[in-house]
């Protein structure tokens, strides 16, 4: 009997330990399940294959951006220029498509725009030591302004069947290509963070920048590369957006800049850096996308949705404050 009891206790400890180790991610999964049940009870259209595909399609944009900003946030660098970078990349892509440039070249050009925007942020933050939130607030205006100038303040329509596949295409008439792109980006970021030297240095610098510098880590290089990666993800998201809409819109994403950050913070990435997992970002993105989807199914006015999104952002930051134990220190 003693052996059996001990075995049961060990199993319980193992389960509890696994739950504790999963931390924020496990809690968010529970919240997500409960939220889905509530929306399912309120709307007969929620638990359908098409609706979950819609959630995935909507998630693809903020998911790709969220993957990039996760890396920056792990360093304590809050990037709010993502939508502006995405818009600029989409404008450049649309202009090239109008000139009938090869699609592969168009995609490379858009990614190059993301790299350039990320490099500008990286130099200002990593080299010149300007706070990331100030830098990206400024570059957000700059990148957006350039996008307006290039487009002449007008929407650029896109008529290219191959380009449409990025945001509207399906694999086997079942799986949206944009969801596949999002999953591949998440896998890439996961691999970089968990299985490469770069990922280890990201966590190290985010946890203690001074100690990392003294241990020989090139802090400037790590921050620079993180923000460049963030810019690349923004450009990819811009391609998905313009493909889904069928146009490059200079005002795209205005007022939505904090949405991606909400998902990342909600997913457990600390504002101070050094803590968090990409798995948490995935759940955070799904939660925000599902809230948006559920409210739309329930015909909730967009004004109320804005209020709810603001509340979610505040709650996400509050959760981070609680996780860091700031309230206990006072």
DSSP assignments along 312-330, one per residue: HHHHHHHHHHHHTTHHHH-
- Asked if the structure places residue 200 within a domain, the reply is yes
- Asked if the structure places residue 40 within a domain, the reply is no
Tokens linked to 246: 């069928």
Strands 170-171 and 175-176: what pairing?
antiparallel
Using CA atoms, how far apart are residues 78 and 72, in angstroms rounded to an integer? 7
- Asked if the structure places residue 32 within a domain, the reply is no
Tokens linked to 156: 């650029």
Give the pLDDT confidence score for residue 326 in this predicted structure: 59
Chain centroid to Cα 121, Å, comes to 17
Chain centroid to Cα 200, Å, comes to 20
133-141: long-range contacts, CB 8 A cutoff, minimum separation 24? 133/78, 133/80, 136/78, 136/79, 136/80, 136/81, 137/80, 137/81, 139/81, 139/84, 140/80, 140/81, 140/83, 140/84, 140/257, 141/84
Question: Apex CA 248: angle with CA 106 and CA 52, to 5°?
Answer: 95
Neighbours of 252 (CB within 10 A): 22
Q: Which of 299, 215, 315, 298 is nearest to 258 (CA)?
A: 315
Give the pLDDT confidence score for residue 269 in this predicted structure: 83
- Asked if the structure places residue 16 within a domain, the reply is no
| This model's pTM is above 0.95 | no
Give the pLDDT confidence score for residue 324 in this predicted structure: 62
Q: Which of 232, 202, 231 is nearest to 219 (CA)?
A: 202
- Asked if the structure places residue 168 within a domain, the reply is yes
Give the pLDDT confidence score for residue 273 in this predicted structure: 75
Tokens linked to 18: 């696994």
- Asked if the structure places residue 8 within a domain, the reply is no
In DSSP terms, 156 is beta-bridged to 248
Nearest 10 degrees: Cα torsion 298, 302, 307, 309: 80
Q: Which domain does 112 fall in, by range?
A: 66-256
Tally of domains in the chain: 1
Give the pLDDT confidence score for residue 304 in this predicted structure: 84
- Asked if the structure places residue 266 within a domain, the reply is no
pLDDT block averages, 10 residues each, the chain of length 330: 47 47 69 90 91 92 94 91 96 95 96 97 95 95 96 93 94 92 96 93 91 91 96 96 94 85 84 82 90 90 82 76 63
- Asked if the structure places residue 39 within a domain, the reply is no
């Amino acid at each position: 009997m003693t052996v059996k009891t001990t075995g049961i206790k060990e199993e319980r400890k193992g389960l509890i330990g696994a739950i504790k180790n999963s931390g924020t991610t496990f809690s968010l999964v529970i919240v997500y399940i409960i939220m889905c049940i509530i929306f399912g009870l309120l709307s007969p259209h929620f638990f359908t294959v098409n609706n979950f595909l819609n959630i995935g399609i909507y998630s693809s944009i903020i998911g790709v951006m969220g993957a990039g900003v996760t890396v920056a946030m792990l360093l304590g660098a809050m990037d709010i220029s993502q939508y502006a970078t995405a818009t600029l990349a989409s404008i450049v892509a649309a202009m090239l498509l109008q000139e009938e440039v090869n699609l592969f070249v168009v995609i490379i050009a858009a990614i190059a725009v993301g790299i350039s925007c990320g490099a500008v942020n990286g130099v200002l933050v990593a080299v010149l030591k300007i706070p990331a939130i100030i830098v990206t607030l400024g570059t957000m205006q700059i990148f957006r302004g350039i996008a307006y100038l290039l487009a002449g303040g007008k929407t650029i329509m896109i008529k290219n069947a191959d380009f449409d596949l990025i945001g509207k295409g399906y694999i086997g008439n079942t799986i949206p290509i944009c969801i596949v792109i999002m999953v591949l980006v998440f896998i890439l970021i996961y691999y970089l963070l968990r299985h490469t030297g770069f990922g280890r240095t990201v966590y190290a610098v985010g946890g203690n920048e001074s100690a990392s510098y003294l241990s020989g880590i090139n802090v400037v290089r790590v921050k620079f590369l993180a923000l460049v990666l963030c810019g690349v993800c923004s450009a990819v998201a811009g391609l998905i957006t313009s493909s889904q809409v069928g146009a490059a819109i200079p005002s795209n994403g205005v007022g939505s800049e904090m949405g991606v950050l909400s998902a990342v913070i909600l997913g457990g990435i600390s504002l101070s850096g050094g803590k968090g997992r990409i798995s948490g970002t995935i759940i955070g993105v799904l939660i925000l996308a599902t809230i948006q989807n559920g409210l739309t199914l329930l015909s909730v006015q967009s004004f109320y949705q804005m209020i709810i999104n603001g509340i979610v952002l505040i709650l996400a930051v509050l959760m981070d404050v609680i996780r860091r134990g700031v309230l206990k220190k006072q």
